[in-house]
Amino acid sequence: MEVSDNISSRIVEAYIGEYASGKSEVAVNRALQLARQGRRVNLVDLDIVEPCYTLRPIKKRLLDLGVDVLAWETRETMGLGEAGNILRPGNRWALRRSGDVILDIGYGVEGARTLHLLEGADKDPDLKVLAVINIARPLTGSVSDIVDYVRGLGRVDGLVNNSHLGDETTVEIIQEGAAVVAEAARRLGLPVVATAALAELAREIGPVDAAGNPVRPITRFMPQTFW
């Protein structure tokens, strides 16, 4: 059962976080969740350290599922990451597009500062910057690590627990993540917006996890990209 979002207000979410924390997967699924509710959604690739590896390969499939994807087409680019293009010009203006805007912000030492590249980010009243946390990633494995990490990111409005071990993910690790992220969030004074979990595991957990966070079921798309 999906919880419908407030129909009238515009949803603008920027997913940031550690390398391989699951930002892209969470962003893609969030965009699809909104599209299924009949909303107009724009999914934007703002990964500028590893451009073109995430959304580009699945762009067509997402378009067929009703999500407008702002990412390079393979044929528009040249080389990738050493002889290629980083920022797609149209992506700078993503906030001007009508409908919801879901942003996949890549990793990088500057964290949330990447949002400076988004025209109007500092003034957008609906923008929420959400940090995706996977406690199976060594640099965000404990409450204190997560607190330090999130503090170093810059502007963060909420956390998303995306604790997983890829194909080996179990309900235990998701729930453990929920508890750790919830405690970190409490210390940071931030809300935990959701726990993301693979659809089968989400069914086992139910609509709310052990820490009381809403559960967002995820279908994996990233294995169809390079990773």
Q: What angle do CA 103, 177, 198 make, to 5 degrees?
A: 60
147 scored as a contact of another protein (CB under 8 A)? no
35 or 146, CB closer to another protein?
Answer: 146
CB of 3 to another protein, least distance (A): 27
Q: Which long-range contacts (CB under 8 A, 24 or more apart) does 123-127 make?
A: 124/12, 124/95, 126/9, 126/10, 126/11, 126/12, 127/12, 127/13, 127/14, 127/95
Give the one residue of 60, 96, 116, 187 binding another protein; rule: CB under 8 A: 116
As beta bridge partners, residue 214 has 208
56 scored as a contact of another protein (CB under 8 A)? no
Give the one residue of 122, 126, 200, 204 binding another protein; rule: CB under 8 A: 122
44 scored as a contact of another protein (CB under 8 A)? no
d(Cα 156, Cα 200) in Å, to the nearest integer? Answer: 29
CA 83 to chain centre: 27
φ/ψ bin of 117: left (φ > 0), alpha (ψ from -120 to 50), beta (otherwise):
alpha
164 scored as a contact of another protein (CB under 8 A)? yes
Piece of 6-14, 37-45, 105-113, 181-189 that binds another protein (CB under 8 A)? 105-113
167 scored as a contact of another protein (CB under 8 A)? yes
38 scored as a contact of another protein (CB under 8 A)? no
226 scored as a contact of another protein (CB under 8 A)? yes
66 scored as a contact of another protein (CB under 8 A)? no
**φ and ψ at residue 15, rounded to 5 degrees:** -95, 120
4 or 144, CB closer to another protein?
Answer: 144
- Name residue 184's amino acid: A
Contact 52, 78 (CB under 8 A): no
47 or 100, CB closer to another protein?
Answer: 47
166 scored as a contact of another protein (CB under 8 A)? yes
In 3D space, the residue among 164, 103, 169 whose CA is nearest the CA of residue 133 turns out to be 164
64 or 167, CB closer to another protein?
Answer: 167
145 scored as a contact of another protein (CB under 8 A)? no
Contact 161, 196 (CB under 8 A): yes
Which helix (DSSP H) or strand (DSSP E) does residue 198 occupy?
strand 192-198
213 scored as a contact of another protein (CB under 8 A)? no
What does the binding site for another protein look like in residue numbers (CB under 8 A)?
19-20, 48-50, 53, 77-87, 89, 92, 108-110, 113-114, 116-117, 119, 122, 134, 136-139, 141, 164-168, 222, 226-227
